[in-house]
Structure formats: structure tokens, C-alpha cells
Amino acid sequence: METVVGEAAAAMMVSKSTAVVACTAMAVLYVAILYSPTLILRLPHPTSFKQFMIRRFLCAAVSSVLSLFLSSLLLLPIQNWKLMHLLNIYGARTDHFWQAVFIPLSLTSLMYAGSLLLKFLLLLDSWREHGNGGISFNSVIYGLHKFLEYVPSVASNVSAWRNYVVAPLTEELVFRACMIPLLLCGGFKPYHVIFLCPIFFSLAHLNHFLEFYNQKNYSLVRASMAVGLQLGYTVIFGSYASFLFIRTGHLIAPLFAHMFCNFMGLPVIYSQRRGIVSLSFLAGAAGFVWLLLPLTRIDLCNFRTDNCQCWHGYCSWK
């Protein structure tokens, strides 16, 4: 892979303070724009949940475009803008595409070994229930029928589109593709960025406190605990997603991991009736730690074979 990214960024550096201010602004914008239709544009309140979510989808899209523009403005002199430079910086690449999808996805699934096993055991129980105590052809047909019913219901569910498509795509664009190049170009070390970027990611979830407190009528303590748990999870996942982006250089790597994690929810650590689920979780977690660095080696998702320690040439941005 050519060093076009490093050469382009070297033409216009940003300071650490500028990078932090820009990332903070993008995080605030990502949340604030969600409330702009009613608070700023004075549009009437949506008449349905679907209309409400579609309006939020549009706001998230506008926020993503503005963040892409702001980060591009800071990273590249406007007279030297080239599409390839921007795509490389944002991790929108076609080389090693399938490696960038399946290797991180396989790695992420190890943390859900307990969850996947539990789902499989529950599926077997359902098959036995409809197969008179055993797995029969009729029980398999029943399972296939339920699956075929499930897919259209998800595809037409606006909440599913939010959780599995819109939120992962816009969040990864803003909090990984836009922010990480700015922070690295600003002089932050990669391992600093891995833990700094999730702080901005968490800022975008603080608005959930008001939703829990005002809309769901949670007590102050209960709302704080709910948001605290959510923020803890977003920090952990944000660090992992940032790690994937920096190690692979592909936006698709954290994007698919994000979609998968949203679909699976929190990993199942313990099941009261099935101790093997806990063992599976521990085995999967051990495998995840053991394979984290080997499965994200730079050469697995990139053509670079020289002495540069990163795919994108950030280490040469002096």
C-alpha cells in the first residue's frame, strides 16, 4: 500500500488541542443535532415512533457528513483534496475486504461463546419440544419456518434498523473514521487514542440519562446506574473498536463488530441451569485474549511489508 495517507497528512498537521476540540465538537454535534428538529427548526413532534426514528436517522446522517467535512478540512489542505486520500484516511478500502470482515468478526464472536452456546441449546430445546422429545424432520422445518418469519419482521422493524445499521454506521464514521486520524495526526500515540477515543464515544450516550429520567420516569439513582453501566460498556467496546480500526486500517472491521455486538447484546456469563455456558464464556474470553494480537497483525489486512509499524503511515507523521 502506498504512503499517500502519510504524505497527505504531513502537508497539514493539527495540534493536540485542535484535535481534542474538534473531536469534542463532533461528539456534541452527534447528540445535539438529534434534538434540532423540534428545538431549533421548530418542527412539530413526530406523530409516530417510526416517524420519530426516521427523523433521527436523517439527523445522524447529517451529523456524519458534517463530521467528515470537518475532519477533512483539518487533515488535508482544500487545494490538495483527492478522493483516494480521503478514502484511505477514513478506512474505506476494498483491498483485503473479506479479511477485514471475517477475522475481526470471528475474534469478536469468541467473547460471545457462552451466548452462542446458550442460543444453540435453547434452539435444541425448541426443536425437541416440537419433535416429541427428539429432533425430527418436522422440528427442523418448524425452526426454518420461524427463521423465515423472523427475517422479514426484523427487516421491517425501525428499531432493528437503528440498532443494527444506522447507529453502527454513523457512530463508526464519526467516532472512528473521523476522530482517530485527527488524534493520531495531532501527535497522540496509538495506545493513547485507543483509550481516549471511547471518552468521546461515551459523551454521545450521556443524553440517555435524560431519556431514562424524564421519559421513563426512572429515579435519579436508577437512571445513574443504568447510564453508568451503559457508559462502561461503551468505553470497553469503543476501545476495542478503535483498536480494530488502528490495527486493520479498515472501517469495515469495527463496523461489523459493532453490528454483531448490538445484535448479541451483553455477553452471557452465567446461566442458572447450564454451567457449561460459563465454561464456554471463560474459554472464549481466554481465546479472545490469546488471539487478539495475532489475528489483527498488520499484514493480514494490508499490503505493507516495510518497517512501518502501522498500515496507514501515522508513525511517519512527524
Q: What is the pLDDT of residues 97-137, one digit of tens each?
A: 999 999 999 999 999 999 999 888 887 777 666 656 566 66
Give the C-alpha separation, 212 to 224, whole Å. Answer: 9
Helix, strand, coil proportions of the chain in percent (round to 5)? 75, 0, 25
Let me know: does 75 contact 9? Beta carbons within 8 Å.
Answer: yes
CA–CA gap between residue 312 and residue 243 (Å, rounded)? 14
How far is C-alpha 34 from the geometric centre of its chain's CA atoms? Answer: 19
Maximum separation of any 2 CA atoms in the chain, in Å: 72
Task: Find, among 318, 312, 315, the residue nearest to 3 by Cα.
Answer: 312
Q: Is 107 exposed, middle or buried (0-12, 13-18, 19+ CB in 10 A)?
A: buried
Compute the average pLDDT of residues 309-317.
Answer: 47
Identify the helix (H) or strand (E) that includes residue 29.
helix 16-32
Instruction: Enumerate residues 6+ apart whose C-beta is below 8 A from 30.
Output: 60, 63, 67, 170, 171, 174, 175, 204
What single letter denotes the amino acid at residue 50?
K
Spatial contact of 96 and 300, defined as CB atoms under 8 Å apart? yes
Residue 269: count of CB within 10 angstroms of its CB: 12
Residue tagged 501527535 (cell numbers): 187
Cell 443504568 belongs to 226
pLDDT at res. 26: 94
pLDDT of residue 136: 60
The yes-or-no verdict on residue 3 having pLDDT over 50 is no
- Which has more confidence, 129 or 18? 18
Spatial distance between the Cα atoms of 270 and 285, rounded to a whole number of angstroms: 13
Instruction: Give the residue numbers marked as catalytic.
Output: 171, 205
Give residue-wise pLDDT tens across range 214-239: 666 666 777 677 667 777 888 899 99
Judge whether 200 and 188 are in contact, CB under 8 Å: no
Tell me what pLDDT residue 254 has. 96
Considering the entire predicted model, what is its pTM?
0.84
Q: In 3D, which of 257, 236, 242 has the Cα closest to residue 107?
A: 257
The per-residue pLDDT for 245 is 94
